[in-house]
Amino acid sequence: MPVGPETSNAFPIAGSTRSFCGQYEIVADRVFHSIAVSANIRDIGTVLEQTVMIENDRLVLSVSPAPAGGPGSTLQYVWNRAQGQEFPMASTPRALP
């Protein structure tokens, strides 16, 4: 019996996720992500444009067309603020313990 992680589902799962980092710029209702590091090497050096909507305690980023969809498709990333938590709008530098 082989030893190690189960890999039969690895590729479908990897293909359905997106992780990246880099600088971003907000212009009106759009955010432009300049991708410096990504799980998908083809994304590095590209700019991802998303529509931004903030309503009460909800942040929604939308991409159209969706990466795995066709014309007219939309993908939305939705974040809800945790109840009872107050966080500043901008990050504040802090020293590590």
pLDDT single digits (tens) 67-76: 777 788 888 8
Lowest mean per-residue pLDDT among 47-51, 55-59, 80-84: 80-84
pTM value is 0.62
Question: How far apart are the C-alpha atoms of 66 and 22, rounded to whole Å?
Answer: 20
Q: For 25, what's the count of Cα atoms within 13 Å in the CB-facing half-sphere?
A: 4
Average pLDDT in the 84-91 region? 62
Residue 33 in this model has a pLDDT that exceeds 60: yes
Work out the number of other CB atoms within 10 angstroms of the CB of residue 43: 19
- Two tokens, residue 29: 């209702």
Distance CA(22)–CA(71), nearest Å, equals 27
From the list 51, 42, 50, the residue with the least C-alpha distance to 15 is: 42
- The first and second tokens of residue 56, run together, are 């009460």
| Residue 5 CB partners (closer than 8 Å, separation 6+) | none
